[in-house]
Structure 1
C-alpha cells in the first residue's frame, strides 16, 4: 500500500447552503413563454456554499439537516430563561439537605 485509504464518513454533516445564483432562490427560471423549474438547484432554490450542485438525494438530506437545526434553535429561543438575582430561586439546584433547593437564606 502506498498511502492511507479514505473511508466514507459514518455521519452526515450539514453543509452550508446558499441561494441558487441562477434562480436567486425562487426555484424557477424564466423561459421564453413560461416559467421552468431551475435545473441547477433541482427546483429547490438552494446550492452548496461552494457553488457546487447537489444531487437530489444529497439535497434532501442537507435540507432536512438544516431544518432540524433551525427547529432546535427555535425551540431553544422559546424557552424562557430567568436572569438576574431571581434566577437562583427558579427550580431546584439540589444543594440542600436530601437534594432539596438551597437558596442561602
Structure 2
C-alpha cells in the first residue's frame, strides 16, 4: 500500500452493484406502503466488492461520474453521421462571403 499525505488528487471510480435487498429500486415493500431501503441508503446501489452501502457524499460523486460517462455515450450515438453530397450542406466549409458556408447553388 502506498503512503499518502492528504487527499488524493483524483477520485477513483468504485465498482457499484444493485442492492440485493431492494433489487436496485431503492424501496422495499411494506405491509401497506413502500419504505426506503436501509441497506443501501435508499439509492439502490452498493459496492460490488463488499455489498455495503456507500456514504452519501461518496455515492453522489460516484453516480455523477457514471452519469457523465453515460451522457457522453448517448451524445456519441445521437450525433448524426452524414456522408456523400449531404455532408457539404451540413458542415460549414467557410468558402462563402465572411466565412459562411458555400454550397454552389
TM-score class, shorter-chain normalisation, is 0.5 to 0.7
Where does structure 1 differ by over 6 angstroms across 4 or more consecutive aligned residues? none
Q: CA RMSD in A?
A: 2.7
Note the 1:3-18 alignment, pairs <5 A: 5-7=3-5, 8-18=7-17
> Which residue is 2:74 aligned to?
74
Matching of residues 49-88 of structure 1 within 5 Å: 49-50=48-49, 51-81=51-81
- Which moved further from structure 2: 62-71 or 34-43? 34-43
Partner Cα separation in structure 2 for residue 48 and residue 76 of structure 1: 28
Cα deviations by residue, 1:7-31 (Å, 9 ceiling, x for unpaired): 4421112222211111101111233
What pairs up with 1:21-100 in 2 under 5 angstroms?
21-50=20-49, 51-81=51-81
Mapped to 2, the partners of 1:82 and 1:14 lie a distance apart of 35
Unaligned runs of 5+ in 1: 92-105
Question: How many aligned residue pairs are there?
Answer: 87
Change (3 A) 1:15 1:82: farther
> Normalising by structure 2, what TM-score?
0.66
Contact 2:19 2:46 (C-alpha < 8 Å) held by counterparts: yes
Q: Please, which moves more after superposition, 47-56 or 7-16?
A: 7-16
